[in-house]
Structure 1
Amino acid sequence: MAVQASRVVTLVEWDDRWQEGQIGFHQSHVHKMLERNIDRVLRGRRGVRFFFPLCGKAVDMKWLADMGHSVVGVEFSEKGIRQFFEEQNVSYEEAAVPDLPGAKLFKSTDGKISLYQSDIYNFSSTIAGKFGAIWDRGSLVAINPCDRNRYAALITSLMDKDCRYLLDTFLYNPELYKGPPFFVSDEEVEHLFGQMCDIELLESVDALSDKFKKWGLDAITENAHLLTLKNS
């Protein structure tokens, strides 16, 4: 972790990646860890409000909306948001957000999917309330390591008392790759969320693929954690 601690990717750099199509983090299919663990997240609930931090154009959002849930996402890249609606053939409307200066809200006409174009650190529960579920597929591993405490405080503030937070992390040798996605150990997850949340490791899989090999990695593990507020 120490070798990545000072690594900073600016919002402009993130937006440039979208503009240039450098979005190797995007998946054209529903994430397998979400599919395999969705019952643990839902726990029998219907019509759950899901939060997607740094949502990009994740197809998982459409999948959940089609199941009858509602989705709220935050993404800095307007291009990524527009591509989501266009590629998923979902009609939408856009509007300014009075409580988020400079931000825009892109909302499906059926009201099931609301995506905010904004710096995530400007977002809060006063904008869209709290959530019954959070799917963090590539957010904690993407934010700058120096911002993790602030990020954890934001995420826990968005959790309703019955919220079930599915968190995806990567373990690899950070000496071999500078990130993002960044190395996030289980100990770091405990440090960030352990005071507020009970943490359960649901799944740990070998994720080494040709993509990761090209990054210089010889091993990488992907973990799925389920976080729930203590005393909930």
Structure 2
Amino acid sequence: MDTSSGSTQLKTGSEVIQNRVLSEKDWKDKWEAKNIGFHESNVHEFLSEFVEEMVNTRAQIRIFFPLCGKAVDMKWLADMGHSIVGVDVSEKGLKEFFDEQNIPYVEETVPEIPGAKSSTGNISLYCCNMFDLSSSIIGKFGGIWDRGAMVAINPRDRERYTKLILTLMENDCRYLLVTVVYDPKLVQGPPFYISDTVRESLLGQSCNVKFLKSINTFTDRQKGWGLDYYNDNLYLVTLKSSS
């Protein structure tokens, strides 16, 4: 996430080039105002159906949740015996997760990241800008559940985001990525539309990307944005070096 703010939308013919920027403060304000329509109170349909695509018969793997918020998916996977590491800029969201899931936690400072906090246990959550993290701080992972991170990242930061994710992947990491499909000429986002071409430019050189499923997730919320269709797409991403 960028610390600047503002937004522009450039058009070239029928193509809309998104350059919208949300700051850390914008995201924190969303949590304070409870403007968190992106939060889901149940385990995501994709995760419950395709969890084995990520786990792949392995036990007690480390799973990374970028921009985790208070996702209930974290406890669901932790209850299976996996170790969860999440990150979000919203301290409110992280504390609400532990409170709502009745999980005791201890706050610690993170020496490598001034001002950052982490809550430790089988579920370790970092309160900081995700780009302040690295594999030297949080290690690498056998699984990544990206339900709404890549589509929330400012479009100009996608390449930086992808580079970070790639450095956090163990050789056998299995990364479940959810993107959204809608008419980007009508809505700027977030969540941001990521075309097949953009996804391929970000991941295609280093990773195998397998399409798993698409579901219609259109609701009155998206209708209120001026849309008439909205789908979630799920992909399994693995490093080419592991195949």
Preserved CA contact (<8 Å) 2:67 2:148: yes
1:133 aligned partner: 143
For residues 4 and 14 of structure 1, do their structure 2 counterparts lie closer, same or farther at Cα, with a shift above 3 Å needed? farther
Is residue 32 of structure 2 the alignment partner of residue 22 of structure 1?
A: no
> Contact 1:8/1:144 (CA < 8 Å) preserved in 2?
yes
The equivalent residue for 1:192 is 202
Q: 1:51 is matched with which residue?
A: 64
Structure 1 residue aligned with 2:6:
none
Question: Which of 149, 173, 187 is equivalent to 1:177?
Answer: 187
Structure 2: gaps of 5 or more residues: 1-10
CA contact (8 A) 1:4 1:179 kept: no
CA drift of 1:4 comes to 5.0
CA distance in 2, matches of 1:37, 1:189: 20
Match of residue 213, structure 2, among 184, 187, 203: 203
Alignment of 1:58-207 (within 5 A): 58-107=71-120, 111-207=121-217
TM-score, normalised on structure 2?
Answer: 0.92
**Matched residue SS, 1:74:** strand
**Matched residue, 1:222:** 232
Structure 1 CA distance for aligned equivalents of residues 143 and 190 of structure 2: 24
* Cα distance between partner residues in 2 of 1:6 and 1:42: 35
Segments of 4+ moved more than 4 angstroms: none
Greater mean deviation of Cα atoms: 180-189 or 91-100: 180-189
Q: Sequence identity of aligned pairs in percent?
A: 53
Partner Cα distance (2:44, 2:37) in 1 = 14
**Partner residue in 1 for 2:50:** 37
RMSD, aligned CA? 1.1
Q: Give the aligned residue type for 1:96.
A: T
Q: Which moved more, 1:206-215 or 1:97-106?
A: 206-215
Question: What one-letter code is carried by the residue in structure 1 that aligns with 2:142?
Answer: G
Q: Across the two proteins, how many residue pairs are aligned to each other?
A: 229
